[in-house]
Amino acid sequence: MTAAYAITGNASSLHASGRQARKLVEEARETIAGALGCRPGEVIFTSGGTESDNLAIKGLFWARRAGDQRRIQVITSSVEHHAVLDPVEWLGTHEGAVVQLIPVDSHGQIDVDALREMVAADPGSVALISVMAANNEVGTVQPLNEVVAIASEHGIPVHCDAVQAAGVLDLNFAIDGIDALTVSSHKVGGPHGVGALVAARGVAIEALLHGGAHERSRSGTLDAPAIAGFAAALIAAVDQREQTVARIEVLRDSLIKGVRHVVPDAVLQGDPVASGRLPGNAHFSFPGCEGDALLMLLDARGIECSTGSACTAGIPEPSHVLLAMGVDPELARGSLRFSLGSTSTQADVDALIEALPAAVDRARRAGRPRIRISSEA
């Protein structure tokens, strides 16, 4: 990337430095295609996962409905990232889409039979199905093969948000039979603000951004250095995937064991079976704690983790993912996600286990902001 920043040309310009920038972009496109098992022409560069999800969902919906006015159903899972759920809801509010959410079990895995029934009820009205490869909060891996099998019986396109799975799970666009796949650079160790939508040749996607049509279905001058960095990070992650996964799985299991040892009532969320969850994900609910308080207490000890909660009017709301899994809202509010990556070490895990008991104790004593609704005087 440092070398690429010395090239000042615009990849759409015809002069020499423009051609140099174009070369960087096209080499990156080939690298990314090689890493994801697609053709270079199927890679559409975007500003990241959020834009790719929006492009796939709105773009597929508009193109499918233009082909047949009856196609107005959008089916997605109840545990998607907001980058999927919000454009789906937006289509429902502004474009007359009929939204169907696939329920999940207590581990966060979609109910494939429910999906089959939703599709079978009126397959001709389904515009698209969008199901993530793996959940960003609880790490649960979804049965994509089954989703693709159900959709392909009726020629329904499938979009998959693979932001959490790229470089971690064994993804192959062509073999997996997906029509559109979202990937984001910063989740594979690349720069922020760049990503791609991989869209199968022949799949029509209406553009969101209109302008110079720099990319198929996407206008806007490309950030060649960021794209070069994205490609370098993705190929490194894919090439080292097996070694990295084997290493972080050991760390994750040590983290889970350690947390259970020092906070015995902590509840592990997501699939307890190792193969059913992302290798670097451990997600716990701590009864009696406010997740945000615990997060800040751990942050003060140099341990960075996240909650899945959003704030509404200053009050933390439990994560929609945990609620969809049937987790009690009070318990859900005390949840934290610990993510391990290629640079994580056993010393990081040990530091967490050392800091956690005091943090949980303090968070429990601090109590929670509440709004009490009581009929008692």
Report the catalytic residues.
Answer: 311
Question: CB-wise, 288 or 341, nearer to ligand PLP?
Answer: 341
CB of 24 vs ligand PLP, minimal distance in Å:
21
Beta strands in 220-307 (DSSP E): 267-269, 281-285
Minimum distance from residue 204 beta carbon to ligand PLP (Å) = 23
Residue (134 or 293) nearer to ligand PLP, CB:
134
| Of residues 81 and 241, the one with the C-beta less far from ligand PLP | 81
Hey, is 212 helix, strand or coil? coil
Nearer to ligand PLP, 80 or 348 (CB): 80
Q: Which is nearer to ligand PLP, 49 or 316 (CB)?
A: 49
CA distance 219 to 47: 11
Question: At its nearest, how many Å lie between ligand PLP and the CB of residue 194?
Answer: 8
Query: Beta-carbon neighbour count of residue 296 at 10 Å?
Result: 12
| Minimum separation from the CB atom of position 136 to ligand PLP (A) | 3
Rounded Cα distance, 182 and 61, in Å: 16
Distance between CA atoms of residues 244 and 290, nearest Å: 32
Query: Minimal distance in Å, beta carbon 16 to ligand PLP?
Result: 32
**3 state SS of 79:** coil
Give contact residues for ligand PLP (rule: CB under 6 A): 48-50, 53, 81, 83, 132, 136, 161, 163-164, 184, 186, 195
Query: Which amino acid is residue 348, in one-letter code?
Result: D
To the nearest 10°, the Cα dihedral for 201, 132, 122, 95?
A: -80
Tell me which residue has its CB nearest to ligand PLP: 49
Do the Cβ atoms of 234 and 342 come closer than 8 Å? no
Number of neighbouring beta carbons within 10 Å of residue 31? 20
